Amino acid sequence: MMLASILASGLAVGAIYALIGITYNTMFATSRVMSFTAGQLGMLGGVFGSLFMLRLGWPPVIGLLASLGACALIGVVTEIVAVRPVLKSLEQHLYVLSTLALALMIQQVTAIEWSTEPQPFPKLFGIGSGVFDEKFWLPLVACGLTIAGLELLYRKTLVGRAFLAVAEDNFAARALGLPERNLRIASYALAGAIGGLAGFAGGQLLLAFFANGPLLNFYGFVPVALGGLGNNRGAVIGGLALGVFQQAANFLVGGIFSSVAVFVLFIVVLLAAPQGLFGAPAARRV
């Protein structure tokens, strides 16, 4: 029973981490920027969901759509405020400061306007109990639907192929006449919705809490490092593995030592495979 509990909670938390990893990848693909607002988008998914459904009394479907729309808007704001000015600069590594500053602003505004205490998140379906409770399978379903949706988008639609073209070589894509800026804005809106879905689907586990942002920022970045930057399937595998490993460490050693174990795993993987377990080694362009 303990093993089942570890697996259920580990896979659920891992799916949330994987979705944040996909959020990182989606923003990075069209801008080559690692935006540290990814975790805040996950945090806002839970906060908006609780706001719309518990405080305003909206039905779950409307609450979900409104939450995803609000997070998509935050994604667009991220591109305009924190990313676009940096792309025009020769010092493009400044995105670390610009996106981190925006992430801190989002967190502080949420703490002031929402609450500094964890707030409850409503049950959506009331289906299942024990290890089959919806709070455990909802993140997994959300993660699976996201991966399937992205595969369809990238392989079957012109917009998806344009995303891939910009991700592969934005200079060549621009030369071909693709609207790079519009595609980048669209990718940030999509990333915002994915991050919001992570927080919404994981709301019953993580609650609606402003401090979830930094936690998701780090634990969502680890699957990206494990799976290889830009590799969504690798992020899912890395996220699920991380979640199970973290929950097992919580059970075995508990407290802060489980976080230390995650840090050790993270460092060992980066030392052994700097490009990630599923990432291709960086090629030098000549």
DSSP string, 30-46: HH----TTHHHHHHHHH
Asked if residue 116 is part of any domain, the answer here is: yes
With a cut of 70, say whether residue 279 has pLDDT above it: no
Q: Classify residue 284 as left (phi > 0), alpha (psi -120 to 50) or beta.
A: beta
> Is residue 156, in this structure, part of any structural domain at all?
yes
Phi-psi region at 276: left, alpha or beta (left = phi > 0; alpha = psi -120 to 50): left
Residue 136: which domain range? 2-272
State pTM to two decimals: 0.92
**Does the pLDDT value for residue 206 go beyond 70?**
yes
Q: How far apart are CA 275 and CA 258, in angstroms?
A: 25
Confidence check: pLDDT of 275 > 80: no
Residue 286 has pLDDT above 60, yes or no: no
**Into how many domains does the chain fold?**
1
Could you read off the pLDDT of 181-194 as tens digits, one per residue? 899 999 999 999 99
Q: Tokens at residue 161, please? A: 């192929």
Residue 275 φ then ψ, to 5°: -85, 0
**Domain presence at residue 283:** no
- Residue 161 pLDDT > 80: yes
pLDDT at 280 over 60: no
Range from 29-43, 59-73, 123-137, 146-160 that averages highest in pLDDT: 59-73
The stretch 116-140 carries a mean pLDDT of: 91
pLDDT digits over 58-86, tens only?
Answer: 999 999 999 999 999 999 999 999 998 88
Any domain includes 9: yes
Is 284 a residue whose pLDDT tops 50? no
Q: Is residue 277 part of a domain?
A: no
Query: Among 17-21, 32-36, 146-150, whose mean pLDDT is lowest?
Result: 32-36
What is the average pLDDT across 206-235?
91
pLDDT of residue 269: 79
**Confidence check: pLDDT of 151 > 90:** yes
**pLDDT tens-digit readout, 27-57:** 998 888 889 999 999 999 999 999 999 999 9
Q: Which residue has the tokens 């979705």?
A: 19
Domain-embedded: residue 286: no
Using a 10 angstrom Cβ sphere, with 0-12 exposed, 13-18 middle and 19 or more buried, the burial of residue 123 is middle
DSSP for 93-126 reads: GGHHHHHHHHHHHHHHHHHHHT-SS-B----SS-
CATH of the domain at 120: 1.10.3470
Tokens standing for residue 95: 């995105």
Q: Which amino acid makes up residue 93?
A: H
Q: Does the residue 51 lie in any domain?
A: yes
pLDDT at 92: 65
Residue 38 near residue 161 (C-beta atoms within 8 A):
no
Over range 161-190, report the average pLDDT: 85
Share of the chain above pLDDT 90, in %: 61
Note whether residue 280 is domain-resident.
Answer: no
Other CB atoms within a 10 A radius of the CB of residue 199 amount to 32
- Determine the pLDDT at residue 253: 82
